[in-house]
Structure formats: C-alpha cells, structure tokens
Structure 1
Amino acid sequence: MLTALVIDDEQFAREELAELLEETGHIEVIGEAANAIMGLKKINELKPDVVFLDIQMPQVTGIELLGMLDPDTMPYVVFVTAYDQYAIQAFEDNAFDYLLKPVDPKRLAKTINRFHKVVTQSDQPQAVSALVPEKLEQIPCIGHNRIVIIATDNVECAYSNISGVHVRTSEQTASTQLTLKILEEKTPLVRCHRQYLINIKAISEIKLLENGLAEIITTTGFEVPISRRYLKPLKEMLGIVS
C-alpha cells in the first residue's frame, strides 16, 4: 500500500481528504500537517510516497514548500486547491496531479489510478521544477513550541552538527528542517566548510591559520571555520588576491 501525507491549514479539508484516501483502500495516510513548516518536518521524517499539498497557506505557501525539498528525494506532489480549473492549468503540467476543493471522490480515484500506473513504471517522482522557486526568501525554523520564519538576508551563517541544521542571525540561533545543500543552492549563503555556510556580508575578519586553514569572525563575533578547499574561492569572492 502506498503512503501519503496531507498538508492543509484547513482542519476540515485536511480530515475530509484523509478519510477519502483511507476509504480507497489503496492509500495509507501516515501523517497530517496544518502548515508547510510542520509539513516539511513530516516529509523528512516519514518519507511518504505522495504528498497532498494545499497551495494557499499562511507564512509559507505550498509552492514555497516545493522549493525547500531536495529534488533527488522528494515525493510525488498532488496539489489540492480552491483555484478554479482555468487557473490550475498553469500547474497541471508541472505537478503530478491536482485536485479542486471540495475534493470529488471520483476525481480522487482517477488520481490514485494514475499514481499507481506511474509508480509501477518509474521509481522517480515526476518533475515539478517549473514551479519550484529558484531562490528562498525565507527559512522556516522550528523548536521550543514555536515556529520562526527568518529572512535569508538576515542569516549570518548556517551549520550542521549531530543535532541537525542550525541557522544563526545576530539575534538568535534556530533549527531548520532544510539541508545545507538546499540552503547553499537557494539562498545567498556560501560554502566555507563541509559543515558551514556563511553570508559574505556578515564577514568581519578572516584569520589565517596554520596548514592552509582559516577562520571567519562574523560581525557578531561568531567563529566559523574555513577549510582549505574553500579558502581560495572565498577570498576571490571578496576580491582578495594572494
């Protein structure tokens, strides 16, 4: 049986769709989320086969959520939206499928049948690249019973350790479900170490150490390591010739 995650900020719509999916006998709903940020967390944790994703949600939209997923591992995506059929044609060629609210059980059955056919032919999700934002304007962070949205321009650095990926600003450090790879590809942050990304504008000083290593001191005094392979490209970005 295939697994699904339902992401929608409307509780009734979310629960109704989950019931319809379970009634088909072909889809197991393994999770629900009331917003894109919790949805991102559950996608990474549960790894569903397909995500039924609302487009219009507060703080982070369904389209923005797509840009936060790793294209190499992302699940299939079915948009669920209140847009009329003419508007949704813009999405039709780029997502696996779409459903209009309120969801019609017969239309849902067609989606599931199509899904089964595609899955048997290929293990890779259908591309949604035409819809995915090329740049992230904000980074969703979660923890301590709160959700924090951080503008990418305010990020000083990002780093990973045993407890996950963390985003640091001049005022706080928060954890995110995004990978360093996604942050490197879709934000202004630049790789300076296997476990660190830096905002060029946040560099106050670069200390040259022994053995070709170096260390960044940010404008707030935070220390960020620079590995040998990234030192030269970083210096070139700063216009340093040596």
Structure 2
Amino acid sequence: MFSALVIDDELLAREELIELLEETGDIEVIGEANNAIEGLKKINQLKPDVVFLDIQMPQITGIELLAMLDSDTMPRVVFVTAYDQFAIQAFEENAFDYLLKPVDTARLRKTVQRLIKADHVNDIDYAQLAPAQLDHVPCYGHNRIVIISSKDIEFAYSDLSGVHIQTATQKTTSQLTLKVLEEKTPLMRCHRQYLINLSAIKEIKLLENGLAEIITASEQKVPVSRRYLKALKERLGFH
C-alpha cells in the first residue's frame, strides 16, 4: 500500500482523482492540497510515498514546486496534466510518469502497477525537469503566506523551530531546507546553520580563532565559521 498526496488547484479534479486512487486498493490518500505552497508544507509533514502533482497552478506551478523538494527525501512524483501531446512526449522520453486530464481508469492502473514494480525506489532524475534556480521562495509570517524574491533575501538560517528567511525588512519562515536554498538560490553557505547572499554583505569582521562575522546591508549580524571563511573570501575576490 502506497501513501499518496494529491496536489491540484481544481477541486473537482482533485476529488475525482482521490476517488479513483482509493478504488485501486493499492493507494491510500493521506492528504490533499489546492496549491503548491500548501502542497510543499504537506509533503514535509506527511512524507507520502508518491505525490500526484498538477502542473498548471497559479503563483507557483507544479514544476516550480519540484525544484523546492530536497532530492534526499523526495517522494516519487506522478504529474497530472492537460498539456498537449508534444509536452507529453517529453515526459515519456525522460521516463516521467504522468496522467492526462481527465484521468482514465485504465491509465491510472498502469501508473499504480509501475509504482508497485519500482518497489519504492526513486530512480528518476527529476532535476531534468525542475528549474535550476528558484526566482521566488514561499514563506510564512504572522498568519499569512508571502512570496519573497530570491534576490531580496539577505540570509537564511535554521534552528529548532525551522528554516528562517531574513530580508532587509522582514523575517519569515520557509518550508524549504537550507540544502535546497543553497542549491537553488543565490545564497552561499557561510556557517553550518547559515546561508548568506553575497550582494547583501556590507562588511566582514575578522574575529579571533579564524572566525568572522558578516554585517548585512540592513545591519544584521551573520556568523561565519572557519570551515567556510576561505571560500567566502575567494568568492568575494580576496585570496
């Protein structure tokens, strides 16, 4: 039995797919989401075996959501799409599984059989399809969801309560991991728990024992560990 999450902004399409999935007897739908931001949150919370992901959604598309997932913990993904045959051919050539709207029961059964045959092994390189860089990062702050431009982030850091994003004017919390932010945004590692945007650096104070401290454009302080100081200085042109 596979646990599944269905992400689709169309309520009727979502309900229909959930019903079809549960009728297979091999899929247990443990959650649903009506947009990519909520979908990302539920993927991290519920950790489903497979995600049925609509591609065309407002604000953040299914393809953009793909780039926000950590490759180390990523579930299998089945795309749900109304794309034309040219796009479908691209999915087939790269072994991405997909369902064409409206979902056909026989085609869904093939997808389920493929999941069973794969035995939970995620052998597909979704990076081929996902954007190399994230232009925007979804965040949460004071009972609201905000979409922050990647270039506006001064730094990001993690603590026991999660991953936090700091801009010049606000602090928010993100569902993205530091690893994804490091790989997909302009942020660079400067400490085990901190990432810095090089364009936000106003000053670097060299401290004792090979440590340093960054002062950002908005006068925020960011620690730099010995491990990352050399690479940081090299990126800034100091050798």
Shorter chain as denominator, the TM-score bin is: over 0.9
Alpha-carbon distance in 2 for matches of 1:176, 1:143: 9
Residue 86 (structure 1) aligns with? 86
Cα distance in 2 for partners of 1:66, 1:19 equals 24
Identity %: 70
TM-score of the two chains, using structure 2 as the length reference: 0.96
Q: 2:123 & 2:51 partners in 1: Cα distance?
A: 11
Q: Is the 8 A contact 1:158 1:168 kept in 2?
A: yes
Structure 1 pair 132/157, CA: closer, same or farther in 2 (3 Å)? same
Q: Distance in 1 between matches of 2:33 and 2:40?
A: 9
For the aligned residue pairs, the C-alpha RMSD in angstroms reads 1.3
1:41 matched to which residue of 2?
41
Structure 1 residue 169: Cα displacement: 0.6
Task: Spell out, residue by residue over 1:11-55, the C-alpha distance to the aligned partner (whole angstroms, 9 max, x if none).
Answer: 111111111101111100000011111111111111111100000
- Among 149, 154, 157, the alignment partner of 1:156 is 154
Gaps of 5+ in 2: none
Q: CA deviation at 1:125?
A: 4.3
Q: What is the SS of the residue equivalent to 1:230?
A: helix
Q: Counterpart of 1:59?
A: 59
C-alpha displacement at 1:72, in angstroms?
2.0
Any stretches of 5+ residues in structure 1 without a counterpart? none
- The residue type paired with residue 208 of structure 2 is E
2 CA distance for matches of 1:145 and 1:74? Answer: 27
SS at 2:126's partner residue? coil
8 Å CA contact retained: 1:80, 1:100 = yes
| TM-score normalised according to structure 1 size | 0.95
Moved over 4 A (4+): none
Counterpart residue type for residue 33 of structure 2: A
Q: 1:196 aligns with which of 183, 194, 199?
A: 194
**Is the 1:152–1:187 Cα contact (8 Å) retained in structure 2?**
yes
Instruction: Find out whether 1:166 has 2:164 as its counterpart.
Output: yes
For 2:152 and 2:192, locate their aligned partners in 1 and report how far apart those are by CA, in whole Å.
Answer: 22
Question: Which deviations, in whole Å up to 9, do the C-alpha atoms of 1:63-116 show, x marking residues without a partner?
Answer: 111111111221111110111333311122335411111111111111111211
